[in-house]
Chains A and B, each alone.
Chain A
Amino acid sequence: MPALLTKRIIPCLDVDRGRVVKGVKFFDHIDAGDPVEQAAFYDAEGADELVFYDISASHEGRGIMADLVRRVVEVVSMPLTVGGGIRTLEDATRLIQAGAEKVSLNSAAVKRPELIAEISRAFGTCATVLGVDANRVIEAGHERWEVFINGGRTPTGVLVLDWVRRAVELGAGEIVLNVMNVDGMKQGYDLEMTRAVGSSVTVPVVASGGAGSPQDIAAVLSVGSADAALAASIFHFRTHSVAEVKRHLRDCQIPVRLDA
């Protein structure tokens, strides 16, 4: 059997005013360390990519993020994605010029979808990621999968599968699906929604929200058919290492990179 594109394991670092934090169900945050030190740690552990997500998402925060990316590029040679608070082509340009490989758009793209096309035209679909905060909402006995914005605070009425299809047409080259109902709960990813998003688009899908164990990650990469798995707290609090997760995936016959 020929070698395959490996499934990516991506530690996500939520950053608030220059510090890595980790929240439970989006809102309560506790301090988890220095971003540059964390990046070097995950580089050494064999992480396939890193995501920095600016949860402060203020004007001041964006300046801090560009500076943070510049410092991280000095210590690691691996792909970096930055998200949080990117509202304009100028915001994206600043982060990419600082050394980010990809930028992840979220709320601003829902409010003004053309932003996806603008960034995609300037830097290519490969650099243009759409982050989606999705929620299972039950109303009058009927469930819908709805997109939320502003850090998960605001419902939009937009349906998840409609939105990801539209975003790919506009030029998004990757989807990060974060399912809010399970985020921070460590009970596993939302396999059904991840799988549904994967079969709705032709671009890679990164699963986010809910990782509690290597088994959860194996499930979303196989049953959930995700191309990559993003996780935060299980790595930050050293509950499991990236290498340990990858060895488990290899034992499950899931292609991973172990020669780092």
Chain B
Amino acid sequence: MPAANLAILNYGLANLRSVQRAFERVHVPARIITTPDEIDATDHLVLPGVGAVADAIAHIRSASLDEPIRRHITRGRPFLGICLGLQMLFETCHEGGAHQGLGVLRGDCVRFDVDVRLGLKVPHMGWNSLDIQTINQKIPTLFDALPNSPHVYFVHSYHVRPTDTSVIAATTHYGEPFVSAIQRDNLFAVQFHPEKSQAIGRQILARFAHLPS
């Protein structure tokens, strides 16, 4: 029972084949789209992203994709942000200066301030585990049916700080806990890379694809 209409938004240089391929491996056809009209015609939208958040936001604005993204979320259609696709949902991203994000969620995105004496390095790079939070037992989450504390792949130097802590779907420990996933109704976003997280990642993508639109 694959999602009929899932698309991955391409707004820059990044390779999206690994995201598309990970969906294919769980039998979900995923289109790669680039225009506002295509966003409007999509039920399940995936917003990936690597590189610098300021460049990513600039690309999205210059291609007039910001309004369609907000509209998709406001309509309550399933949305999945990955890495920068999580960070840019917030009001402000501090990365070489303050950059205005899409402002879908209140809060900001800041660089890790970890204690090097603990041997902690930035970027936070590698496999770390999710501490899944119980938001509301009545609504489905991306992490239902996963093993306890599953390991997923992270590669990032910045992390988000939501003002409304009720959106926190998972945290991860790196010196101290940081927010590694958020959920608000059908809006999902994760700091890790499900498309690089082997079987666990594919399970998460499959959950998303099968959410009712």
Measured CB to CB, the nearest residue on chain A to B149 is A3
Which chain B positions have C-beta within 8 A of A101? Answer: 155, 196
- From known contacts A77-B195, A99-B18, infer whether A228 and B126 are also in contact, taking CB-CB under 8 Å: yes
B155 touches A126 (CB 8 A): yes
Measured CB to CB, the nearest residue on chain A to B146 is A259
Is A124 part of the binding interface, using a Cβ–Cβ cutoff of 8 Å? yes
Chain B interface helix/strand/loop/mixed: mixed
B52 touches A124 (CB 8 A): yes
- From known contacts A77-B197, A203-B121, A259-B147, infer whether A4 and B128 are also in contact, taking CB-CB under 8 Å: yes
Chain A min CB distance to B29 (Å): 15
B173 touches A6 (CB 8 A): no
Chain B min CB distance to A218 (Å): 16
Identify which of A25-33, A90-98, A157-165 touches chain B.
A90-98
- From known contacts A79-B155, A204-B121, infer whether A259 and B150 are also in contact, taking CB-CB under 8 Å: yes
A77 to B153, CA, bound (A): 10
A6 to B124, CA, bound (A): 11
A5 touches B126 (CB 8 A): yes
B128 touches A3 (CB 8 A): yes
B127 touches A257 (CB 8 A): yes
Size range of the chain B interface in the assembly? 35 or more
A100 to B13, CA, bound (A): 12
- From known contacts A5-B174, A43-B198, infer whether A203 and B126 are also in contact, taking CB-CB under 8 Å: no
A5 touches B15 (CB 8 A): no
A225 to B150, CA, bound (A): 25
Is B17 part of the binding interface, using a Cβ–Cβ cutoff of 8 Å? yes
Which chain B positions have C-beta within 8 A of A2? Answer: 131, 173, 177
B17 touches A78 (CB 8 A): no
Chain B min CB distance to A124 (Å): 4
Chain B residues numbered 9-61 whose CB sits less than 8 Å from any CB in chain A: 13-15, 17-18, 21-22, 25, 50-52
A77 to B21, CA, bound (A): 8
A73 to B127, CA, bound (A): 19
- From known contacts A77-B195, A98-B15, A204-B125, infer whether A123 and B51 are also in contact, taking CB-CB under 8 Å: yes
A203 to B157, CA, bound (A): 10
> Quick one: CB contact mask for A62-89 with B, threshold 8 Å, 1 for yes?
0000000010011011110000000000
Measured CB to CB, the nearest residue on chain A to B196 is A79
Is B72 part of the binding interface, using a Cβ–Cβ cutoff of 8 Å? no
A240 to B177, CA, bound (A): 35
Which chain B positions have C-beta within 8 A of A259? Answer: 147, 150-151, 200
Partner of A48, one of B14, B126, B173, B201: B126
Chain A interface helix/strand/loop/mixed: loop
B123 touches A122 (CB 8 A): no
A122 touches B13 (CB 8 A): yes
Measured CB to CB, the nearest residue on chain B to A258 is B151
A235 to B193, CA, bound (A): 26
Which chain A positions have C-beta within 8 A of B128? Answer: 3-6
Which chain B positions have C-beta within 8 A of A100? Answer: 15
Chain A min CB distance to B200 (Å): 7
Is A121 part of the binding interface, using a Cβ–Cβ cutoff of 8 Å? yes
A204 to B125, CA, bound (A): 7
Chain A residues numbered 7-36 whose CB sits less than 8 Å from any CB in chain B: 7-8
B13 touches A73 (CB 8 A): no
Is B159 part of the binding interface, using a Cβ–Cβ cutoff of 8 Å? no
Is B98 part of the binding interface, using a Cβ–Cβ cutoff of 8 Å? no
B198 touches A227 (CB 8 A): no
> Quick one: CB contact mask for A38-53 with B, threshold 8 Å, 1 for yes?
0000010000110000
> Quick one: CB contact mask for A216-230 with B, threshold 8 Å, 1 for yes?
000000000101100
Which chain A positions have C-beta within 8 A of B124? Answer: 5
Top 5 A-B pairs ranked by shortest CB distance?
A2-B173, A3-B129, A257-B151, A124-B51, A257-B127
Q: Can you report 22 A-B residue pairs in the complex whose CB atoms are below 8 A from each other?
A: A3-B129, A3-B131, A3-B172, A5-B126, A8-B126, A73-B21, A77-B18, A77-B196, A78-B196, A78-B197, A99-B15, A100-B15, A102-B155, A123-B13, A173-B123, A173-B157, A174-B125, A203-B121, A227-B121, A259-B150, A259-B151, A259-B200
Given A3-B149, A99-B15, A173-B157, 20 extra CB contacts under 8 A = A3-B128, A3-B173, A4-B128, A48-B126, A73-B18, A77-B198, A78-B198, A93-B13, A97-B14, A97-B15, A101-B155, A123-B51, A124-B52, A126-B157, A127-B50, A173-B123, A174-B123, A202-B121, A227-B121, A257-B151
